[in-house]
Amino acid sequence: MGGDRVKVGIIGSQFQADIQVVSLKSMPHEAEVVAVASPTPGNAAQFGKKFGIPRVFTDYHEMLKERDIEMVSICAPNSLHAQMAKDIAAAGKHIVCEKPLAMTIAEGEEMIAAAKKHGVLLMYGEELFFTPKYLKAKEMADAGAFGKIHLVKQSEKHFGPHSPWFWDVNRSGGGALMDLGCHGIAFCYWFLGRSPIKTVYCQMGTYVHGDKTQAEDESLCILEFANGAMGLVEDSWARRGGMDDRIEVFGSQGVTYGNLHMGNALPTFSEHGYGYAVEKAPTTTGWTYPVFEELWNYGTPQELNHFARCARGKETPQATGEDGLVVMQALYAGYASAGEGRKITMPYEPPPSAKKPIDLWLHGPTRK
C-alpha cells in the first residue's frame, strides 16, 4: 500500500467508529485510520489495539494537533457534532460528520460556515446515497425506467438503539424520526434530484419504550416536494426482529422495491442458532435472514472511500453539510407538525424556545 493515503482520525470508539474503521480497511487504497480519540479511559487504547491504530487520545483536541491528519470523522453523540465540526475545521482538516448533522438548524449553519471559512470540506455521513441496491434504483429512475416518479418511500425500523445517549433527548435531539428519519428524508430528497421540500406532515408516538425515554418510538412522515412528488418516511424503534430497511419507488411507467437486508440474505432455519444474523437481531434460532457483506450493502465503505477521494480533490462530495441542513430543517418541521397536528409549510422557522427538534412535539398543543 502506498504511503500517500489520506490519514484519518476518528472521534468515538464504539458502534459507528467500529463500522467506519472496518469499512475503511475494506477499501484500503485511498485512506488509513491513524488515530482515534475517545474520552472513556482505556476505550481508545482498546479500539486502537483491536484495529492496529497507532495513535490514541482521550481528548480529541489533542488528536487535532497531529499535523499529518487530513480528515477527521465524528462518530460521537449528536449533541457534540457541532462543536467537534467547528474544532476540526479550525484545525484545517476535512470533516466527516455522521448523521444527523447537528441538534439545531443554527448549529448546522455554523458548521457549514466554519468549513467554508477554513477552506475544508464538510461531508455528511449519509450512506444511503452509496447503498448499492438503492443506488441501482436511482440509476434506473434517472434513466427514465419508471417514468415520472410521484412517490418515494423509505423506512428504517428496529427495536431501539444500542447506547443510552440515544434515549436521552438532550443528547440525541429526538427519537425514531431524528435517528432514523434523517436517513429517509435524505433518501427521498436525494432520490428526487434534491427537489426542495415544500411541506412536512408527521404523526408520532411513544408506544413501547415510555419507561426509558420521552422520545417517539414510532413516526410517520409525509413530505411534498417542489416537483410534485411525495415522500413517505416510516421509522420505528419499536420493531422486533432486528434491522429492517426498505424503499419503494412509484412512477407513471414503473415501480421498484428494495429490501436492504432480506433481499441480501439467506432465508435460514436453525434449531441451534449461529453467530450473527443482522444488526440488532435478538436471536439466530428459528427462521432468520442472515446477511452477508453487511457493511458493503449499507454503502459505508464506498461512502468513506469517496470522502477520502474528495479530501484529495479527486471527486466532489456527493453528501454534504448542505444536505444535512435540509434534513435538519425537515426534522424540525416534522416535530412541529406532530406537535401542532397540522401540515407545516417550508421554510419553517422554529421558535427560539425549541432547543432541539423534539421540543416542538413534547411541548406542542397536541400533547397538552
Ligand X SMILES: NC(=O)c1ccc[n+]([C@@H]2O[C@H](COP(=O)([O-])OP(=O)(O)OC[C@H]3O[C@@H](n4cnc5c(N)ncnc54)[C@H](O)[C@@H]3O)[C@@H](O)[C@H]2O)c1
Nearer to ligand X, 7 or 158 (CB): 158
Report the nearest approach of ligand X to the CB of residue 358 (Å): 14
Nearer to ligand X, 164 or 273 (CB): 164
Sign of CA dihedral 50, 56, 61, 67: negative
Of 99, 138, 124, 126, residue with least CA distance to 258:
138
Cα radius of gyration rounded to whole Å, the chain:
20
Distances (CA, A) of 321 to 54, 115, 126, 151, 329: 29, 9, 10, 25, 12
Nearer to ligand X, 13 or 236 (CB): 13
Of 104, 13, 100, 95, residue with least CA distance to 51:
13
Report the nearest approach of ligand X to the CB of residue 271 (Å): 32
Report the nearest approach of ligand X to the CB of residue 160 (Å): 12
State the cell numbers at 159. Answer: 427495536
Report the nearest approach of ligand X to the CB of residue 3 (Å): 28
Strands 197-205 and 344-345: antiparallel
Nearer to ligand X, 251 or 324 (CB): 324
Q: Which residues bind ligand X (CB under 6 A)?
A: 11-17, 37-40, 43, 60, 75-78, 80, 98-99, 125, 127, 163, 165
Report the nearest approach of ligand X to the CB of residue 279 (Å): 9
Distance of CA 349 to the CA centre of its chain: 23
Burial class of residue 63 (count of CB atoms within 10 Å of its CB; 0-12, 13-18, 19+): buried
Nearer to ligand X, 70 or 126 (CB): 126
CA angle 161, 214, 12 (to 5 degrees): 35
Report the nearest approach of ligand X to the CB of residue 349 (Å): 25
Nearer to ligand X, 319 or 336 (CB): 319
